[in-house]
Amino acid sequence: MGKLEGKTAVVTGGSTGIGLATARRLATEGAHVFITGRREPELEKAVATIGNATAVPGDVSVAADVDRLYERVREHGQGLDVLFANAGINHIAPLDELTEASHDAVFDINVKGTFLTVQKALPLLNDGASVILTSSTAAEGGGAGMSAYGASKAAVRAYARAWADELGSRGVRVNAISPGPVDTAMWDAAFGDRAKEMLETVAAGLPPKRFADPDEIAAAVTFLASSDSSFVYGANLYVDGGMNQI
């Protein structure tokens, strides 16, 4: 029997990368997983690989889309035990080139989207549920061109602290996870033609001399999702290959 047998989970940004790897891991542990994302074809492909899953297309920054997601969860009839608010985007640009539209897009998905995802889940969260938010090493590490992304992920970290305090009386645990560099399509999208060069440069500075596999991040999220982390509240779990630690 898996650690999440009979549980219901939601993973936003669940069609690729960390979200998809985590949805697979949660399903393997026995949960029925609802995944959401903006690209319906990718969602359907993801469901086929996850198994015990339901896809609900939508944009987490649009309240009506989040409502539609939770209506499907409500119809499932078992409440919600695990919420992984993972959907996020990045736009790399120095301050003098960062446009208002790009800045707003990053904050709409990463900050507003996280807020809507968790707030609208409140009526469904079972006592003892686990909420995990995806922050980032960029929230503390800085870096040229990363101001909008880093600031958005710092806001997510702040959410985890405050919401852990607010929801703790229900036994609902809220924690954050901060991945370091992970080998996903998001990295390629962020750096384009420079992706391979940047990957090699960053990896050389890490103790393991490599990027993380999405499954390694998923394993850490599953720890926070399960009763193995029953006394962990408001934490930020770094899965960063030592990037922000040494």
205-230 pLDDT, tens digit each: 899 999 899 999 999 999 999 999 99
Which one from 149, 159, 233, 238 is the annotated catalytic residue? 149
For residue range 133-156, what is the model confidence (pLDDT) as tens digits?
999 999 998 788 999 999 999 999
For the chain, the average pLDDT equals 94
Report if residue 244 sits inside a domain.
Answer: no
Among 112-116, 140-144, 174-178, 194-198, the minimum mean pLDDT is found in 194-198
Partnered with residue 12 across adjacent β-strands are: 36
| Residue 196, pLDDT above cutoff 90 | no
Asked whether residue 1 is assigned to any structural domain, the reply reads no
Per-residue pLDDT reduced to its tens digit, 156-184: 999 999 999 999 999 999 999 999 888 87
What was the pLDDT predicted at 8? 98
Residue type, 184: T
Beta-bridge partners for 179: 239
Structural domain containing residue 143: 8-239
Total count of domains within the chain:
1
- Is there a domain that residue 65 lies in? yes
Buried b (16+ CB within 10 A) or exposed e, 63-77: eebbeebbeebeeee
Q: What are the tens digits of pLDDT across the range 19-41?
A: 999 999 999 999 999 999 999 99
- Name the band, by pLDDT with cuts 50, 70 and 90, for residue 190: low
Q: Can you give the pLDDT at residue 184?
A: 78
User: Does residue 142 sit within a domain?
Assistant: yes
pLDDT of residue 147: 96
Query: Quick check: is 196 in a domain?
Result: yes
Give the model's pLDDT for residue 135.
98
Model confidence at 58, pLDDT cuts 50, 70, 90, reads very high
Q: Is pLDDT at 198 greater than 80 in this prediction?
A: no
Task: Look up residue 217 and give its two tokens.
Answer: 């991040």
pLDDT reported for residue 143: 84
Confidence check: pLDDT of 57 > 90: yes
Contact (CB, 8 A) for 109 and 61: yes
pTM summary value? 0.95
Q: What is the CATH number of the domain that holds 212?
A: 3.40.50.720
Is the model more confident about 246 or about 62? 62
Spatial distance between the Cα atoms of 207 and 47, rounded to a whole number of angstroms: 35
Which tokens is 177 given? 């996870």
Q: Is residue 245 part of a domain?
A: no
Q: For residue 114, is it left (φ>0), alpha (ψ between -120 and 50) or beta? A: alpha
Residue found by looking up tokens 């208002």 in the block: 100
**Is 159 labeled as catalytic in the residue annotation?**
no
